[in-house]
Amino acid sequence: MSDTITRFLIRNGSAAQWTANNPILLEGEMGIETDTRKYKVGNGVSAWAALPYYIEGVLARGQASKTTAGAIAIAQAGTYQSTGLAATFDGTTDYQMVLGTSDTFGLKNDSGATKLFMVQASMDAYAGNNHTLGIKLAKNGVGIDQSECRAFSGSSGQIAKLFCFWMVELADGDEVALYIANIGDTTTIQFQRGRISAIEVKA
């Protein structure tokens, strides 16, 4: 006796097709977006547009870095400010994020929705003998104090290695950037390399 193989096809279509047709799925019926790999499960009442995605197949993410040296002029001791430097966005790994526009050492949420991100940033820098340097994340130009990290810049060009991370909620169009401070005085900071990355956090 031979086995019988049964195949079935789940209701599917592109995101644009689902949006255009906007059907009401039966309770428990699954609908798949073939181009985004996301899906929804019907409740027998709500049209497609009103249903939440059950599990999103791809997380929003982005990263940018600068690997060449640069000078950061400090306006006021102990005050966090933009680096004034331009990072290079990694366009090969991004999804729904772009390089910041108000601060080009930052990332912008371009997903069309409010999302929670885990943001990490690091920088190697020095400012001569006996200087304490700090970095923190900033959302839309406002520093996030809880993300602050400090390190010491010592003699003979000893480099301060700074790293910080924090979970940041970004609405569509919001930006998160890397800010820096010379805690003790206004000596120019010599930037060596740095990076910032963000990935969506799912509940």
Q: Give 63-90 pLDDT, tens digit per residue.
A: 999 999 999 999 999 999 999 999 999 9
Which of 8-11's residues contact partners 24+ apart within 8 Å by CB, and which partners? Answer: none
Tokens 């690997």, located at residue:
67
What is the DSSP code string of 125-192? Answer: EE-STTEEEEEEEEETTEE-GGG-EEEEE-STTPPEEEEEEEEEEE-TT-EEEEEEEESSS-PPEEEE
CATH class of 61-200: mainly beta
Secondary structure (3-state) at 49: helix
**The model's pTM:** 0.74
Please give the pLDDT value at position 1: 55
Show the low-confidence residues of the chain (pLDDT under 50).
none
Please give the pLDDT value at position 2: 66
Say how far apart CA 130 and CA 153 lie, in whole Å.
6
Q: Where along the chain do its domains lie?
A: 11-50, 61-200
Q: Give 27-51 pLDDT, tens digit per residue.
A: 999 999 888 778 899 999 999 999 8
Please give the pLDDT value at position 8: 76
Please give the pLDDT value at position 57: 59
Say how far apart CA 55 and CA 110 lie, in whole Å.
19
What is the end-to-end Cα distance of the chain in Å, rounded? 48
Please give the pLDDT value at position 70: 96
Please give the pLDDT value at position 37: 76
